[in-house]
Amino acid sequence: MEHNINKDKWIDEVLNSTWGMSRAQPVAGLFEQITAKLSEPQTIKMIAFPVKQWVAAAIVLLALNVGSVIYFAQNKGGVTNSKENPLAMEIQSASTYNY
């Protein structure tokens, strides 16, 4: 019960702490400044399209794709013969069925 009394007392103190304060007043002429800004013609800002960056990115991607095609064409798809590599032969012989 005492907790509620202290809480109510604290609420009353907080609400009464604003008594005697004056209300905030806007700067003189603020309404006129706002209406003048709103009545000005709007300028449309054009965002510059970063053409150079897009072209550079496209060239890099194209070069990577061409390079990968050439690499895999020379290596025949990257498939290794397991007879040449004993580790690859051992890995391929292990059954992963039970994993």
Q: Looking at the predicted structure, is the pLDDT value of residue 78 above 60?
A: no
Give residue-wise pLDDT tens across range 18-59. Answer: 888 888 888 999 999 999 999 988 888 777 778 889 999 999
* C-alpha distances in Å from residue 67, one per residue of 61, 64, 77, 80: 10, 5, 13, 20
pLDDT higher than 70, residue 1: no
89 has pLDDT over 70: yes
Round to whole Å and give the CA distance between 67 and 95: 35
pTM: predicted TM-score of the whole model, two decimal places: 0.33
Residue ranges per structural domain of the chain: 51-93
Rounded distance between C-alpha atoms, residue 80 and residue 91, angstroms? 13
| pLDDT at 77 > cutoff 70 | no
9-19: average pLDDT: 87
